[in-house]
Amino acid sequence: MSGIYVRVRVTGEQYALPVGGVLEVAERGEITPVPGAPPEVVGVKNFHGQVIPVIDLASRLGLDRDTDAALIVVAQEGEHQAGLAVDEVLEVGEIPETSNETESELLAGAVAIEGSLVGVVDVAAVLGGSVVS
C-alpha cells in the first residue's frame, strides 16, 4: 500500500492519509457545535458553500486530546465528506509499503518512517458509519 500520502500529527502520534482522498487543508477557524452529535464530531463548518461535519481524528482513533486541533484536513471517500481535525501537517509524499498490521479497524496498516511508527488511516472507515451520515 505505498503511494502518495498526507502525513499528519495527531496528539503527538503520526498518521498518513491517502492524498487521493484529501481535498484541502485549512485552518480550523469557526466550527459550529451540533447538539446530540457523537463525541468525536466537533461540529460543522462551511467549506466553499458546503456544510460538512468536522471529526476530531484523535477522538475517532481513541486518543486523548488536551488542546484543540489547529488544522482541518478535508477528506472525501465516495459520498462521504468531512473535515478531520489534526494538529499539524508534516509533509505530502510517498511512504513505503506498509509492513505492520494493526488491530484498529480505522487503520489500513502502519509503517516506520524516520524512526517513527506512522498509522495509515482507512479514510472510508473513519468517514463511514453513523459519524458522517
pLDDT value of residue 94: 94
pLDDT value of residue 27: 95
pLDDT value of residue 99: 72
- Full set of structural domains in the chain with CATH: 3-131 (2.40.50.180)
Q: 93, 86, 53: which is closest to 72 by C-alpha?
A: 86
Residues pairing with 81 in the sheet: 76
* Kind and range of the H or E run holding 125: helix 123-127
Positions of E strands within 48-115: 50-56, 71-77, 80-86, 88-95, 107-113
What's the pLDDT tens digit per position in 77-115?
988 899 999 999 999 999 988 776 788 899 999 999 989
Residues pairing with 72 in the sheet: 26, 85
pTM of the entire structure? 0.91
| Distance separating alpha carbons of residues 81 and 128, to the nearest angstrom | 10
- Distance of CA 111 to CAs 95, 98, 119, Å? 8, 5, 7
